[in-house]
Amino acid sequence: MPQTLFTALTFFSAASCLHIRTPDDNQGRAALCFSGQFRSFNTTVYSAQKILISAFSKPDVFLFLNLLDAGKGGGVNHAAWGHKDVDNTLEVLQPKGVQYYSKSDPDAFILDNRLAQGSTCYQAKGTPGCCHWSWHVHQFWTIHKCFEMVKDYETKEQFRYKWFVRARPDTHYHPKLRVAVDKLMRSPPDDGTNHAWLRKGPMSDTFALLGRDAADVYGDMAMKFIGDSCTHLPGEDQCEPSGAIPMSTECFVYRNLLSGRVNVHWDGDLSSKIVREFDWNPWSRLGG
């Protein structure tokens, strides 16, 4: 081979390697998805950063948020405050992706998929709207959309995350959660990525640590509201190990994971608390 051609090929090969990620570059990378109404995020973001996000060596944050609170979270429109709440949160988290939604977006999902009120899978007839999982499609839709954001990012950057985290903006994390996550990161399962870690009982649907394959199953929950899909899940009687009430969202999460053959692990240290900051007068923040 002529020396000039050999030199050129060597240079091209070396330059090309600069753009190729090795498997080790992505080992342990985690996508943390915060989805739902903004609510008290401006306050809980410091707990999220210090306790949850810092537990990972290579964390990337993604946000799928509604800036108009509703229900028990209050009625604050965070966009109306000149985005100060939002700007502060973005500055702390430095997310890889941010999208905002309004109530009309999940409503469009319901309409487009012809979810029939009173059906087995959507707002089931004779069930309490407060407590039965079939009334909470909005919640699972936001999780699905946030996870889709992460998958789009994976496609764009041409790699796959090792871990997914489902989190809520209005959640404060106990320090022992960081210890539990850090311990798991140092000694992960060696039999694949189809594992999920949850806390038993109430609040187990507010946080999840997921291996990459388990994340595909967890993020698919909104699809179980379509047609008769929910009837193909394991029965509610399977929820006894989860400590969840059969009709609850926690039981629905567990049944869905079982349907995808996910290995579910229970850890009492994955402790968190929902913070209802805006139950009080929001004008007090401005000295009004």
**Residue 205 belongs to some domain of the structure:** yes
**Residue 119 belongs to some domain of the structure:** no
Cβ atoms of 43 and 277 closer than 8 Å: yes
Band the pLDDT of 205: cuts 50, 70, 90.
Answer: confident
Band the pLDDT of 285: cuts 50, 70, 90.
Answer: very low
**Residue 282 belongs to some domain of the structure:** yes
**Residue 185 belongs to some domain of the structure:** yes
How far apart are alpha carbons 154 and 284 in whole angstroms?
A: 42
How many domains in the chain? 1
Give me the phi and psi of 126, to 5 degrees please: 85, 5
**Residue 77 belongs to some domain of the structure:** yes
**Residue 237 belongs to some domain of the structure:** no
**Residue 160 belongs to some domain of the structure:** yes
How high is the pLDDT of residue 277? 59
Band the pLDDT of 24: cuts 50, 70, 90.
Answer: low
3-state secondary structure string, 18-40?
Answer: CCCCCHHHHCCEEEEEEEEECCC
Q: What percent of the chain has pLDDT over 70?
A: 85
Pairing mode of beta strands 208-211, 58-66: unpaired
CATH of the domain at 79: 3.90.550
Average pLDDT on 71-88 reads 77
Could you tell me the residue range of the domain that residue 191 belongs to?
Answer: 26-102+137-219+253-286
Q: What percent of the chain has pLDDT over 90?
A: 66
pTM, rounded to two decimals: 0.86
**Residue 15 belongs to some domain of the structure:** no
Pairing mode of beta strands 163-167, 208-211: antiparallel
Strand partners, 163: 30, 211
Q: Which long-range contacts (CB under 8 A, 24 or more apart) does 246-251 make?
A: 247/127, 247/128, 247/131, 247/132, 247/133, 248/131, 248/132, 248/133, 248/202, 249/133, 249/136, 249/139, 249/205, 250/201, 250/202, 250/203, 250/204, 250/205, 251/133
